[in-house]
Amino acid sequence: MIALGEALIDFSALEDNVPLREVAGFARNPGGAPANVAVGVARMGVASQFVGCVGDDPFGHSLIEAMRVYGVDGTHTHTVAEQTSLAFVARNEGDPDFFFVRHPGADVMLRDEHVAELALDEEACLHFGTNSLAEDPIASTLRRLVTRAREAGALVSFDVNLRPVFWRDLRAALAAAREMMAQADLLKVNRAELLWLTGEQDVERALSALVAQVPGTVLCTLGEGGVWARRADGLDVRVTANRVACVDATGAGDSLIAAVLSVLARRGVGRTGLGELSRGEWEEVLRFASAAAAINIGRLGAMNAMATYAETEAFLQAAGKP
């Protein structure tokens, strides 16, 4: 599994439900959505690598070391002169609030030469998010790499993961998201992104509208409402969320998609096989992924809060959902 995009440092508020401007202290944690996914997959015992740039600075080197410790292949993780991006995170009920320091960050500096030797084939999965489409050179690099991935038969996984602050114009963000979701075998959105992409106000109508526009499987995370998988051929599976005390929701969506990709990899499911999974198989995948997300939100941080395969299995057994 190849995750491409941003690796950054999360400064997570030590206080709950306090606006960022009033937070007195922060805990430093490694993060960045694609980097979190790379770690989440590795923690599940599946080979993963992170493709991206970090600064040649203390934060960048700490990110490289953190991912190495978690078992992520860093062959295509590069250091550049630009500074590592930082994110300050307020821990609120529901989705956390972010403030980014990135002008520009090292993560946007990924170029074609950084990925020229990246191997892509039918057993590979390329995962990325919208943030990597906001600025060049990474945006152009990513677009060409997606074309390579599709030509090689690799599974393409796209998490919208919209951060409006990265975009000068949200119309450009919408166009970029629609461009990539048309090429994705697996598309992940949350409730707000689903409504934004479709212009609808009702989740079910919005999901129906989105599924009609994309060729792949759509996963929609609904917080306490669980996760929903839909596909144009009629697949319709919804799994309820596990009730746990939320400590930090920063990496919840990343842990969920990491678990989904891990299960698919363990079962040898690639681009072709994804469309052949039955309703029952998707229920198993989503129950497992929901459990991994529940473990993640019960811990502080994102990357360092990712669950292992054994922890997730134990959680399901304890919950009576083998």
- For the annotated catalytic residues, the residue numbers are 254
Q: Write the CB contacts of 164 (distance below 8 Å, at least 6 apart in sequence).
A: 170, 173
Phi-psi region of 47 (alpha: psi -120 to 50; beta: other; left: phi over 0): beta
Query: Which residues 6+ apart lie within 8 Å of 116 measured at CB?
Result: none
Question: For residue 162, which of 112, 205, 100 has the smallest C-alpha distance?
Answer: 100
> Length of the chain in residues, anyone?
322
As a whole number of angstroms, the distance between CA 109 and CA 126 comes to 19
Distance of CA 267 to the CA centre of its chain: 20
Question: Using CB atoms within 10 A of its CB, is residue 222 exposed (0-12), middle (13-18) or buried (19+)?
Answer: middle
* Bridge partners, residue 155, by sequence: 125
Phi then psi for residue 293, to 5 deg, are -65, -40
The alpha carbons of the chain give a radius of gyration, in whole angstroms, of: 18
